C-alpha cells in the first residue's frame, strides 16, 4: 500500500522495528482467492533462506509451477474439493485450478499484509508512491479457498488444517459468513486450533455496517478488524448547469468529457422498470441516455457495473449517488466511463435540480489524488458494528485499521473493476472493505511477533488494542462517517491501530487455551460442543462458577437486562444492577506503578476499579484487578460507553467499555 | 424421491475410537461406510477437527449423527469475501 505505512507511522519510526533477520522469520498465511506471483510485491530480493520452521509447499496447477514460489512467496496451496463437490469441476477456462489468483482480492490482501517494497506503484496515476506491505520482510504463504462460486467451509477448514502443519505464525482471513455459534462456525473452529499453536488469526469484521449486530468473526480467540479511512482522497467535482458545484470521488482515467456542460438525466426517468434508478443491466432506455450524464442510485448491483450499464446504453458519464444506506461515505472506483460517486445529501440536491430544471446539464472534473484529508481516520459506513450477537459480553470489533480506498497489488487476469468487459490490466488496484483492513492488522501482528517472539496471540492482540487511539491529535473523538458524529466502541472497538505504540504496550492482557475453555464453560457449552470446537474431552467443573465477564479480554462489554415497558425517550428506572469483571495484566515493560483512570458517558453507570494502583517490580509480573459496573435500569437498546486506562506516566493501557441494555 | 447429496463436516470424538482401529482414518472410513457405501471423503482433518468432510444425503447425515463417536454432522456453509 502506498499511504498506510506513513499514515500508521511505520515509515517515520522504521528504526523501532525489528532487524531484518528476525522480521523475515515470520510467516503470514493468507486464506483468500490465491496469488498473482508475478507481482513485484512478491519479489524476494534481499531475503535470506526460507525459515527452517517452514513445512509448506508450492502446489502445481493451472499456470502455476513450483518456480512461482520464491523466498518471499514461500508457499501456495489450493483447496477445491468442497467447491467442486458442490458446483462440479472447475471450469479452467474461467478460473485456475491452482493457487493462481484470477480475481485480484487475494493478491491485494496478501500484498497488504506482507508485500515487498515496490517503487512507482499507482493505479492510472492515482495514489502514486512506494508500495509495501505492513511487514515487508515477512514471508507469505497463500491458501486459495475462494473461487468464483464462493468460499466453502470444508475447503476453509482444510486450508487452516494445512496452514497449522505448515507452521505459519499469523493467519489472515478476509472472509466471513453468517452468525453461527462458535462450535458450528468453521472459521472459529479452525482458528481455535491455530490459536492453540500460537498462531494469531486476524479476521475481517464484515461489510454489513452501519447496522448494529452486523459483525461476523466474533469468537474471542480471533482478532476482529473493522475499517476506517485514510487521509487520502480522489476528488472529482460535478458542475451543474445552475452554477452549483458538488464534490465526489473517482478513480476514472481515460478520455475526458467534452469541455462543456452535457445533458443530465436521472436513471429513474430513463427506464421502463421500477428499479431503473439503480442502473442494473438492460434497464436503461438508450434513446433517453445517449450522449448524457446519468445519475444512478447506489445499491443492489456492483457500483462499477452501473457505469458499464450507462456506457452500454450510450451514456457519456455517470454520477453515482449514495442513498440512506451509505450516507456520506464515498468509495472511489476505476469506472469504465467518466464517473464519480457522491454522498446522499449531494445526490438529493442533484435530484432536486434534475426534477425542477427542464434542461438539466452537468459535467465532471477529475482532480487526481489529495492527501492530508481531515478528519482521518473516520469509521467507514460499511464497517460492521457491534454489539456482538453471539456473546454480547465480548466487545467486537476489536479495533479498526485502514480499509477505504487501499492501493495494493492486483491480479493480471482481471481488470480493476473485476468486470468481464474491463480489458484493462493493472499491477495495482484501489479497493475498499474490511477485507483490506484485516491484512493491515495481520501484517502489523507479524511485526509484533518479530519484535516479541515469545508473545501469545492474545498478548499481540492486547498490545494492538490497548494502544489503539480513539481521538484525533486535536483531542476530538474519532468520527463515524455514517452519522458524522463521534464513533463508539461498537463501531471502532478499542480504536484505530497504532503499531508504533503497540511495540511497547506497557501491560498486556494475556489468554491461554484454558482461559478459552473456561469461557466456553461460562457459555454453558456441553462437553460435546467443547469437543467439537477444541477437540478434547473437557468437562466443566460443576462446583466452579464460570463467568464470561472474567475472560481476560482487553475490552469490556456489559450486557444488562433492559427495563421493560419503557422506551429510550421515556428514561430508565431505579435500583442498580451490579456487574463485576475480573482482569489480570502482565507487565511487558520495565518496573513501574500504574494508576487507573475511568471515564463514562453517563451518570447512570458508575465504574469503579479495585485496586486503583498496580505496582510491578519486574517484567512478566502479573497483577489482578476487578471492575465494578453499577447501572440503573434503562430502556431496551440503550447504550452507554466509557474507558478504563492504566498509566505509569509513560505507557497508557486503554480499554473501551460498552454497556448495553437489551 | 432421490434425496440430493450435500457436503457435511463430520466431527468425531477421537477418544471414543474403538481399540480395533490402529489409525483414526480407518475408523473414519468405517463410520462413513456404515451409512453410505458410495460416499467418499473430501478431506480428513487432523489439526482443526477430528473428522472429515463428505457428501451425504440428509437421511445419511441423520443416520451418521446416531453412530457411536460422532459429535456433530455439520452442513457445509458458504463464506463470502469481505
Answer whether A435 sits within 8 Å of B82, measured CB to CB: yes
Residue A166 grid coordinates: 505448515
A188 Cβ contact list (under 8 Å, min separation 6): A180, A182, A217, A219, A221, A222, A533
Examine the residue annotation and report whether A52 is marked as an active-site residue of this protein: no
Q: Regarding beta strands A223-228 and A200-204, do their DSSP bridges make them parallel or antiparallel, or are they unpaired? A: parallel
ipTM over 0.95: yes
Predicted local distance difference test score (pLDDT) of residue A254: 94
- Ranges of beta strands (E only) in chain B are 6-12, 41-45, 51-56, 70-75, 78-81
Three-class secondary structure of residue A561 per DSSP: coil
Answer whether A435 sits within 8 Å of B79, measured CB to CB: no
**Rounded Cα distance, A477 and A494, in Å:** 13
What is the Cβ-side half-sphere exposure of residue A606, based on CA atoms within 13 angstroms?
Answer: 8
Active-site residue, from A432, A435, A437, A600: A435
Q: Which chain B residues are closer than 8 Å to A157 by Cβ?
A: 9, 43, 45, 48-49, 53
Predicted local distance difference test score (pLDDT) of residue A325: 80
Number of residues that this document lists for chain A = 662
Q: A342 with A353: CB under 8 angstroms? A: no
Q: Per-residue pLDDT tens for A630-642?
A: 999 999 989 999 9
Q: How far apart are the first and last CA of chain B?
A: 38
Predicted local distance difference test score (pLDDT) of residue B36: 95
- Of all residues in chain A, the one with the smallest CA distance to B48 is A190
- Nearest by CB: A81 against B13, B43, B45: B43
Q: B78 with A83: CB under 8 angstroms? A: no
Three-class secondary structure of residue A582 per DSSP: strand
**Rounded Cα distance, A598 and A604, in Å:** 14
**Rounded Cα distance, A95 and A109, in Å:** 19
Three-class secondary structure of residue A557 per DSSP: strand
What is the Cβ-side half-sphere exposure of residue A316, based on CA atoms within 13 angstroms?
Answer: 19
Answer whether B79 sits within 8 Å of A153, measured CB to CB: yes
- Nearest by CB: B45 against A157, A184, A206: A157
Residue A130 grid coordinates: 512506494
- Of all residues in chain A, the one with the smallest CA distance to B41 is A81
**Rounded Cα distance, A297 and A274, in Å:** 13
Q: A152 with A177: CB under 8 angstroms? A: no
Stretches in chain A below the pLDDT threshold 50? 568-570
Is omega for the bond preceding A377 within 30 degrees of 0, making it cis?
yes
Q: A411 with A37: CB under 8 angstroms? A: no
Active-site residue, from A98, A103, A105, A202: A105
Q: A559 with A393: CB under 8 angstroms? A: yes
**Rounded Cα distance, A651 and A146, in Å:** 42
- Of all residues in chain B, the one with the smallest CA distance to A436 is B82
Answer whether B81 sits within 8 Å of A435, measured CB to CB: yes
**Rounded Cα distance, A1 and A161, in Å:** 29
Q: Which chain A residues are closer than 8 Å to B56 by Cβ?
A: none
Is omega for the bond preceding A210 within 30 degrees of 0, making it cis?
yes
- Residue A207 buriedness (CB in 10 A; 0-12 / 13-18 / 19+): buried
Predicted local distance difference test score (pLDDT) of residue A574: 63
**Rounded Cα distance, B25 and A492, in Å:** 45
Residue A412 grid coordinates: 493480471
Q: A75 with A30: CB under 8 angstroms? A: no
For A272, phi then psi, to 5°, come to -110, 0
Predicted local distance difference test score (pLDDT) of residue B1: 45
Number of residues that this document lists for chain B = 82
Predicted local distance difference test score (pLDDT) of residue A662: 86
Amino acid at each position: 500500500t502506498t499511504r498506510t505505512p506513513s499514515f500508521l507511522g511505520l515509515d517515520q519510526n522504521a528504526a523501532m522495528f525489528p532487524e531484518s533477520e528476525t522480521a523475515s522469520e515470520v510467516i503470514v498465511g493468507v486464506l483468500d482467492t490465491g496469488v498473482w506471483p508475478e507481482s513485484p510485491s512478491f519479489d524476494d530480493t534481499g531475503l535470506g533462506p526460507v525459515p527452517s520452521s517452514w513445512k509448506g509447499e508450492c502446489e502445481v496447477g493451472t499456470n502455476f509451477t513450483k518456480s512461482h514460489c520464491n523466498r518471499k512467496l514461500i508457499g501456495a496451496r489450493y483447496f477445491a474439493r468442497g467447491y467442486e463437490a458442490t458446483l462440479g469441476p472447475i471450469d479452467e477456462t474461467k478460473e485456475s485450478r491452482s493457487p493462481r489468483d484470477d480475481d485480484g482480492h487475494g493478491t491485494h490482501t496478501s500484498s497488504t499484509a506482507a508485500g515487498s517494497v515496490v517503487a512507482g506503484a499507482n493505479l492510472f496515476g492515482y495514489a502514486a508512491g512506494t508500495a509495501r506491505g505492513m511487514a515487508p520482510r515477512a514471508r507469505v504463504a497463500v491458501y486459495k479457498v475462494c473461487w468464483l462460486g464462493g468460499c466453502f467451509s470444508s475447503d476453509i477448514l482444510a486450508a487452516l488444517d494445512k496452514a497449522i502443519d505448515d507452521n505459519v505464525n499469523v493467519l489472515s482471513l478476509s472472509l466471513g459468513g453468517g452468525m453461527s455459534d462458535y462450535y458450528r462456525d468453521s472459521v472459529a473452529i479452525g482458528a481455535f486450533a491455530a490459536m492453540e499453536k500460537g498462531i494469531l488469526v486476524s479476521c475481517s469484521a464484515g461489510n454489513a455496517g452501519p447496522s448494529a449486530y452486523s459483525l461476523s468473526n466474533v469468537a474471542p480467540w480471533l482478532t476482529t478488524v473493522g475499517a476506517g479511512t485514510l487521509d487520502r482522497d480522489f476528488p472529482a467535482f460535478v458542475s451543474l448547469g445552475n452554477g452549483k458545484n458538488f464534490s465526489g470521488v473517482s478513480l476514472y482515467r481515460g478520455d475526458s468529457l467534452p469541455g462543456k456542460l452535457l445533458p443530465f438525466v436521472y436513471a429513474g426517468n430513463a427506464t421502463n422498470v421500477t428499479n431503473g434508478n439503480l442502473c442494473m443491466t438492460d434497464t436503461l432506455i438508450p434513446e433517453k441516455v445517449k450522449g448524457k450524464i446519468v445519475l444512478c442510485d447506489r445499491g443492489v448491483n456492483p457500483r462499477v457495473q452501473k457505469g458499464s450499464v450507462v456506457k452500454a446504453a450510450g451514456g457519456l458519464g455517470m454520477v453515482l449517488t449514495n442513498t440512506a444506506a451509505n450516507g456520506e461515505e464515498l468509495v472511489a472506483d476505476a469506472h469504465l466511463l467518466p464517473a464519480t460517486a457522491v454522498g446522499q445529501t449531494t445526490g438529493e440536491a442533484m435530484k432536486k435540480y434534475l426534477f425542477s430544471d427542464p434542461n438539466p446539464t452537468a459535467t465532471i472534473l477529475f482532480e487526481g489524488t489529495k492527501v492530508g484529508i481531515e478528519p482521518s481516520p473516520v469509521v467507514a459506513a460499511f464497517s460492521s458494528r457491534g454489539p456482538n450477537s453471539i456473546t454480547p459480553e465480548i466487545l467486537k470489533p476489536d479495533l479498526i485499521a485502514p480499509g477505504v480506498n487501499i492501493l495494493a497489488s492486483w491480479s493480471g487476469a482481471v481488470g480493476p473493476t473485476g468486470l468481464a468487459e474491463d480489458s484493462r490490466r493493472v499491477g495495482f488496484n484501489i479497493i475498499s472493505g474490511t477485507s483490506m483492513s484485516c491484512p493491515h492488522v495481520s501484517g502489523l501482528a507479524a511485526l509484533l511477533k518479530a519484535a516479541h517472539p515469545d508473545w501469545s496471540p492474545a498478548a499481540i492482540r492486547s498490545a494492538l488494542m490497548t494502544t489503539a487511539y480513539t481521538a484525533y491529535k486535536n483531542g476530538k473523538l474519532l468520527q463515524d462517517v455514517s452519522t458524522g458524529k463521534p464513533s463508539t466502541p461498537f463501531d471502532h472497538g478499542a480504536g484505530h491501530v497504532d503499531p508504533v505504540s503497540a511495540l511497547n504496550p506497557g501491560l498486556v492482557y494475556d489468554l491461554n487455551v484454558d482461559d478459552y475453555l473456561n469461557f466456553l464453560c461460562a457459555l454453558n457449552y456441553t462437553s460435546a460442543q467443547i469437543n467439537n470446537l477444541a477437540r478434547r474431552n473437557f468437562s466443566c467443573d460443576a462446583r466452579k462458577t464460570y463467568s464470561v465477564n472474567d475472560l481476560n479480554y482487553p475490552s469490556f462489554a456489559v450486557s444488562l437486562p433492559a427495563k421493560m415497558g419503557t422506551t429510550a425517550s421515556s428514561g430508565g428506572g431505579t435500583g442498580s444492577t451490579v456487574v463485576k469483571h475480573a482482569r489480570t495484566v502482565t507487565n511487558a515493560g520495565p518496573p513501574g506503578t500504574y494508576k487507573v483512570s475511568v471515564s463514562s458517558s453517563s451518570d447512570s453507570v458508575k465504574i469503579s476499579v479495585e485496586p486503583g494502583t498496580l505496582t510491578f517490580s519486574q517484567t512478566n509480573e502479573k497483577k489482578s484487578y476487578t471492575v465494578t459496573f453499577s447501572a440503573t435500569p434503562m430502556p431496551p437498546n440503550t447504550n452507554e460507553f466509557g474507558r478504563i486506562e492504566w498509566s505509569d506516566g509513560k505507557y497508557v493501557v486503554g480499554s473501551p467499555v460498552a454497556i448495553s441494555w437489551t | 424421491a432421490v434425496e440430493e447429496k450435500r457436503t457435511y463436516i463430520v466431527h468425531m470424538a477421537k477418544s471414543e475410537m474403538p481399540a480395533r482401529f490402529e489409525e483414526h482414518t480407518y475408523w473414519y472410513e468405517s463410520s462413513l461406510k456404515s451409512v453410505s457405501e458410495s460416499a467418499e471423503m473430501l478431506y480428513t482433518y487432523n489439526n482443526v477437527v477430528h473428522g472429515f468432510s463428505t457428501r451425504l444425503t440428509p437421511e445419511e447425515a441423520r443416520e451418521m449423527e446416531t453412530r457411536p463417536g460422532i459429535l456433530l454432522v455439520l452442513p457445509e456453509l458458504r463464506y463470502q469475501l469481505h
